[in-house]
Amino acid sequence: MTTSRAERAGDPYDIAVLGAGPAGLSAAVTAAAQGSRTVLIDAGARPGGQYWRHRDGDDGALHHDWSQFRRLQRESAAHPLLDRRFGHSIWHVERTEEGFTVHSTCDDEPRAVRSRTVIVATGAYDRQLPFPGWTTPGVFTAGAVQALLKGQGVLAGKRVAVAGTGPFLLPVAAGLAEAGATVVGVFEAGLPTAFGRHPVAVLRNLPKLAEGADYLSTLLKHRVPYRTRTTVVAAHGTDNVTGATVARLDDQWRIVPGSAREIDCDTVAVGYGFTPQTEIPLQLGCEMALDADGSLVARVDSRQRGTADGVYVAGEACGVGGAQLSMVEGELAGLHASYATNGSRVDRRRLARLLRRRAAQRSFAAAMHQAYPVPDGWQSWLDEDTLVCRCEEVTAGTVRAAVGDLGASDPRAVKLYARPGMGLCQGRVCGYATACLVARADDRRPTADDLRGMAARPVAQPLTLGALAAGSDDNSA
């Protein structure tokens, strides 16, 4: 392996940035500019993460903030102190005497990278709630539909119902409509007018609102119905989606009696907010917290430091707040981690500006989370035989029996007795729903501990036993 200026033979990198989405790209570019020998690692084949998921030769027409991506992409590719490793799937980050060893696999081969500090920028994925029929092929996460369109140039279906909650449903529906799909409706389970209660947060973030208005006008142009307090409560079909049931919801998300109606569609795209990817902070023993949207997030201080030494966290992993906030947090993490490893000075005015922007973005995010809550009424949509865990095919009835009959008092216990979260995705998809179902039996909402019981993954990605046994240390050559 060749040695770059960033990689000094035998020495660990100053900083390993884990994840090359908005937060990670921003952190890596900042750190290298501050003189830190930096390595940027991502499982994807190219930078951008989920937000800027793109194809080779992509003109950015489907993307927001594309010029920012182009700049970060250019700077990250060109900087001599920044190495980039794509296609590296991180399965474990180990604390060592000198700092950290980041273990990954690339084409099934083991890779290991050593660094003094890490910046965790692992992002988030769509949060899901189970409902009857959600395992039928043709039901996708909203993010999947978006990834197929932006990353692959493929429409997920012809007649699409977009359902769930949160502002992300709008760009998904608008993208589909612009690309030629018939969007039969956007079914927003919440009532986002509550957003108006936070005028300050809103005023400080006018560009985001303009973005939302853009999407709404696209939907209007394509005559896409937008319904609030309404969602898809069942998908129909066995081998393929043949339709869906849409119903009105009350403020607790219970179905309004008599409001259910069948709609004709071949595709359902659903998302109920986002779940941050927190396995690395959990592996490293960072303290976690429950965010306003009910997600488990890594606790960070004003410098984006996690509670474990040498660990910085930026972007969704410390609180879902969108790409702009992620970039600000990434920049802050890059500055502070550089100062900690090589003493590079930080311009005070730049810091003050970043902190102001972070505060504004975070208050906007908090207002969003308040405007799009996920109350427990969705649990009444489930039949006893609705799958909760897709991997291990564990039904809602089995989960409830583990609580009621076997005495499981927390989600981890349910996982141990009944196997939800024991499959290949390790509870990424069913963790939140399982925690809600268990907590509900106790008449409460999930706590950080509940979620942690479904989110701890010492082996974050599968790797072959052969790759594990072989081991590797790339930068000790």
Partner 1 sequence: MTHPSPRPDVLVIGAGIVGAACAYYCTAAGLRVAVVERGAIGSGTTSACEGNILVSDKEPGPELDLALLSSRLWQEIAEDLGRSAIEYEAKGGVVVAGSRETAEGLRHLTARQRTAGVDAVDIGADELFELEPNVTREAVGGAFYGQDAQVQPTLAAARLLRRARLRGATVHVGTGVTGFVRDKRGAVTGVRTDSADVPVLHARWVVNAAGTWAGQLSELAGAPVPVLPRKGFVLVTEPLPRVVRHKVYTAEYVANVASSDAGLETSVVVEGTRGGTVLIGASRERVGFDRRMSLPVLRKLAAQAIGLFPFLADISLLRGYLGFRPYCPDHLPVIGPDPRAPGLLHACGHEGAGIGLAGATGHLLAQQLSGEKPDLDLTPFRPDRFEEATP
Partner 2 sequence: MTTAPFSFIFTFDGEPVRALSGQSVAAALIASGRRSWRHTRTEGRPRGVFCGIGVCFDCLVTINGRPNHRACLVEARPGDTVTTQEGTGHDDLAC
Number of residues binding to partner 2, judged by CB under 8 A: 39
Q: Which is nearer to partner 1, 249 or 467 (CB)?
A: 467
Q: Is 455 an interacting residue with respect to partner 2 (CB under 8 A)?
A: no
Question: Which partner in partner 2, partner 1, none is near 408 (CB below 5 to 8 A by kind)?
Answer: partner 1
Q: What is the helix (H) or strand (E) element at residue 175, kind and residue range?
A: helix 169-178
Of 1, 2, 56, 210, the one binding partner 2 (CB under 8 A) is: 56
Q: Which residues pair with 99 in a beta bridge?
A: none
Question: Which partner in partner 2, partner 1, none is near 57 (CB below 5 to 8 A by kind)?
Answer: partner 2
Count of beta carbons in the 10 Å neighbourhood of residue 159: 15
Question: Which partner in partner 1, partner 2, none is near 383 (CB below 5 to 8 A by kind)?
Answer: none
Q: Which is nearer to partner 2, 55 or 261 (CB)?
A: 55
CA distance 264 to 61: 30
Q: Is 346 an interacting residue with respect to partner 2 (CB under 8 A)?
A: no
Question: Which partner in partner 2, partner 1, none is near 265 (CB below 5 to 8 A by kind)?
Answer: none
Q: Is 410 an interacting residue with respect to partner 1 (CB under 8 A)?
A: yes
Of 428, 436, 439, 451, the one binding partner 2 (CB under 8 A) is: 428
Of 227, 254, 419, 445, the one binding partner 1 (CB under 8 A) is: 419
User: Are 190 and 229 spatial neighbours (Cβ–Cβ below 8 Å)?
Assistant: yes
- What residues numbered 153-172 form the site for partner 2, per CB under 8 A? 153-154, 156
CA distance 381 to 232: 10
Binding part of the chain for partner 1, among 68-76, 170-178, 326-334, 399-407 by CB under 8 A, reads 399-407
Question: Which partner in partner 2, partner 1, none is near 464 (CB below 5 to 8 A by kind)?
Answer: partner 1
Q: Is 424 an interacting residue with respect to partner 1 (CB under 8 A)?
A: yes
Count of beta carbons in the 10 Å neighbourhood of residue 261: 11
Q: Is 464 an interacting residue with respect to partner 1 (CB under 8 A)?
A: yes
Provide the 3-class DSSP secondary structure of residue 325: helix
Min dist. Cβ of residue 233 to partner 2 (A): 18
CA distance 359 to 201: 10
Short-list 314, 321, 327, CA closest to 73: 327
- What residues numbered 407-426 form the site for partner 2, per CB under 8 A? 423-425
Number of residues binding to partner 1, judged by CB under 8 A: 35
Q: Could you give the string, one character per residue 225-264, with x where binding to partner 2 holds by CB under 8 A and - elsewhere? A: -------------xxx------------------------
Residues in the chain: 477
Q: Is 102 an interacting residue with respect to partner 2 (CB under 8 A)?
A: no
Question: Which partner in partner 1, partner 2, none is near 147 (CB below 5 to 8 A by kind)?
Answer: partner 2
Short-list 219, 220, 204, 146, CA closest to 367: 204
Q: Is 408 an interacting residue with respect to partner 1 (CB under 8 A)?
A: yes
Q: Which is nearer to partner 2, 339 or 417 (CB)?
A: 417
First to last CA, the chain: 8
- Burial class from Cβ neighbours inside 10 Å (0-12, 13-18, 19+) for residue 122 reads buried
Min dist. Cβ of residue 169 to partner 1 (A): 33
Q: Is 95 an interacting residue with respect to partner 1 (CB under 8 A)?
A: yes
Of 413, 441, 445, 447, the one binding partner 1 (CB under 8 A) is: 413
User: Are 362 and 321 spatial neighbours (Cβ–Cβ below 8 Å)?
Assistant: yes
CA distance 333 to 271: 29
Q: Is 468 an interacting residue with respect to partner 1 (CB under 8 A)?
A: yes
Left, alpha or beta for 335 (phi > 0: left; psi -120 to 50: alpha)?
alpha
- What residues numbered 369-408 form the site for partner 2, per CB under 8 A? 390-393
Q: Which is nearer to partner 1, 94 or 262 (CB)?
A: 94
CA distance 374 to 118: 33
CA distance 117 to 46: 23
Short-list 248, 265, 312, CA closest to 23: 312
Q: Which is nearer to partner 2, 293 or 410 (CB)?
A: 293
User: Are 45 and 152 spatial neighbours (Cβ–Cβ below 8 Å)?
Assistant: no
Q: Is 426 an interacting residue with respect to partner 1 (CB under 8 A)?
A: yes
Q: What is the helix (H) or strand (E) element at residue 452, kind and residue range?
A: helix 448-455
Left, alpha or beta for 172 (phi > 0: left; psi -120 to 50: alpha)?
alpha
Q: What is the helix (H) or strand (E) element at residue 370, kind and residue range?
A: helix 348-371
Q: What is the helix (H) or strand (E) element at residue 218, kind and residue range?
A: helix 206-221
**The tokens 């853009």 sit on which residue?**
214
Residues within the interface to partner 1 (CB under 8 A): 92, 94-95, 101, 103, 283, 285, 392, 402, 405-410, 412-413, 416-417, 419, 422-424, 426, 457-459, 462-466, 468-469, 471
Residues within the interface to partner 2 (CB under 8 A): 43, 45, 50, 53, 55-57, 125-126, 135, 137-141, 143-148, 151-154, 156, 238-240, 390-393, 423-425, 428-429, 462
